[in-house]
Amino acid sequence: MGKTLFIDFSLLCEEIGKTAKRKEKIKILSDFLLKLDKEEIGPVLTFLLGKISAEKKLGIREGGIIRIIEKISGKRFSDFLAKTGDFGEAVKEIFYEINRDKIKPALTIKEVYEEFVRISEIKGDFSKEEKEKILTDILERANPLEAKYIVKSIIGEMRHGVKEGLLIESLSFILNIDKKEIERSFLISGDIKKVLFEGLTRGKDGIRDIEFKIFNPLFPMLAETANSIEEAISLHKGKVAIEYKLDGIRAQIHKEGEKVIIFSRNLENITDSFPEIVKEIKKIKVESIVVEGEIIGVDREGKPLPFQYLMRRAGRKRDITFSGIPVKIFLFDILFLNGKLLIDLPYCERRRLLEEIGREIQVVEKFEPERLEDAENYFEKAISLGHEGIMVKNISSPYIPGTRGKNWLKIKKINTLDLVIIGAEWGYGRRKNYLSDLYLGIMDDEKRKIMCVGKTFKGLSDEELKNLTGRLLSLKISQKGRTIFVKPEIVVEVIFDEIQKSPVYDSGFALRFARIKGIREDKGKQDINTISDLKNLYKKQSLLKGKYEEIQGSLL
């Protein structure tokens, strides 16, 4: 039992990475998954998704891996990284150089996984040395390709294009059921490993038996950007409700009895950061409930403060910590009540239930416009009250977890893009000790590649840049002159004056007068805007400028 070799897993990753055809990827993946023993399913999925570090909190980072590889090989890692441009590929090349291709692959997937578990369990004063010793021992037994995928799975950069979506399609292929059914089980359980495990071991019934469980967060439903209020309203033939778009932190709150857990939009537990919200929620007198709302910072008069005031930018990744300013929660949805999942009810029904239970707690205001003009006035009111804009919601839409769709449309006063930092240059003068010029990346539509859309040194204070410098250095992948390239992890919200076409960056576009509005600790690279979003904004901007013909030719 559990005899699948790690080299077979490595070959699988190579093979999937080589083909761009989705159908082929699904076929290769399905064949592999079907051959696994029960106890191998979990470990394979963890490795495949590059999640071993996140799941097991290994405590080994890129620096440690480089140290180990250099010690084993006597070679300078940066030379190979510069040559190959990929961390795992560099390890493979080094292992060839030191003749590790002579090693007969014998490591099993289960064995490698168990060694990682062992690493994660080491605590105490000399833990770093002990952890690195175990990893060294594993790598000493690995051939070049195995070594490549051992390190890739630790740093979480698999680059073969296997995400949850592909796994769902593969399972739908294996079980011959509609992928929507599997998707739903995934979205309500939030656990792809559980879905695959149940599906592969128990078939269709396993999938259908997966139910929502309180304190297991649902993926949040998200909104698309509408070009205008008119567009948003006419899309749903006027059957819409408008709410303020509050600029804060999305919270999904689960309560059963006296137990309350608050989840961020990344499904991280942020309960400890908001004790006053926990107290508020406890006022709701029901047996069990899941609600969603926005936590916002307010000033002394109770006026909303922009998002960035809410974040204390501690050096750590995605550390959402209460910053000391007063906060309030405004609820806008209800997903579960007294044992019943409500996501299939239409918005207007959920809203009615929310208002019923919401007597004890604040619910975001709702407005149903009769005429376009009313909606436009409401938008102006939202802005004058200090909100970001409005959300236009289709009143008959269900809550579809994890999807960004047209049932919720957002309209903001200022257009911003969420982008990820992919590199940075050392500053000059007063900022010479900081990485201050930031390269901004946008996602391609297949969510596989990040492309550059320009750089900026504007918007952040010296203090913020100082903190950011430390974080960027810890994410460094490579360096060229004054520029370092980093793992794309830090998301920033960027304001700009205009989008221009540009041959300088690989996205083909550049942002004119870009400046950082804030660091979005609550977002990850999967949440950033895509090149289609950018093209839509460009189209809208050009339309406004009366350049319709020009872009028709080049974009449509």
551 touches ligand AMP (CB under 6 A): no
Closest CA to 16 of 4, 24, 7: 24
How far apart are CB 359 and ligand AMP at their closest, in Å? Answer: 19
The yes-or-no answer on residue 245 being catalytic is yes
* Catalytic residue selected from 92, 148, 245, 535: 245
**Contact (Cβ atoms closer than 8 angstroms) between residue 436 and residue 149:** no
Which residues are CB-neighbours of 526 under 8 A, at least 6 positions away? Answer: 447
Closest CA to 151 of 94, 193, 208: 94
The Cα 516–Cα 96 span in angstroms is: 44
How far apart are CB 225 and ligand AMP at their closest, in Å? Answer: 8
The Cα 85–Cα 38 span in angstroms is: 36
How far apart are CB 366 and ligand AMP at their closest, in Å? Answer: 9
How far apart are CB 386 and ligand AMP at their closest, in Å? Answer: 13
The Cα 543–Cα 550 span in angstroms is: 10
Q: Which of 7, 44, 329, 391 is the binder for ligand AMP (CB under 6 A)?
A: 391
The Cα 255–Cα 268 span in angstroms is: 16
How far apart are CB 126 and ligand AMP at their closest, in Å? Answer: 43
Number of amino acids touching ligand AMP (CB under 6 A): 13
Element (H or E) spanning 262, and its range? strand 259-263
Q: Considering only 53-61, 185-193, 218-226, 509-517, which stretch makes contact with ligand AMP by CB under 6 A? A: 218-226
294 touches ligand AMP (CB under 6 A): yes
Nearer to ligand AMP, 281 or 472 (CB): 281
How far apart are CB 325 and ligand AMP at their closest, in Å? Answer: 18
The Cα 426–Cα 434 span in angstroms is: 6
Half-sphere exposure of 548 (CA within 13 A, CB side): 3
DSSP state of 226: P
162 touches ligand AMP (CB under 6 A): no
Return left, alpha or beta for 285; rule: phi > 0 is left, psi -120 to 50 is alpha, else beta: beta
Residues 308-367 touching ligand AMP, rule: CB under 6 A, are 332, 364
Closest CA to 388 of 269, 328, 286, 308: 308
Q: Which of 103, 222, 267, 353 is the binder for ligand AMP (CB under 6 A)?
A: 222
Measured from each CB, the residue nearest to ligand AMP is 250
Residues 254-293 touching ligand AMP, rule: CB under 6 A, are 265
Q: Which of 410, 449, 466, 501 is the binder for ligand AMP (CB under 6 A)?
A: 410
Residues 233-252 touching ligand AMP, rule: CB under 6 A, are 243, 245-246, 250
In the complex, which residues of this chain contact ligand AMP (CB under 6 A)?
220, 222-223, 243, 245-246, 250, 265, 294, 332, 364, 391, 410
Residues designated catalytic: 245
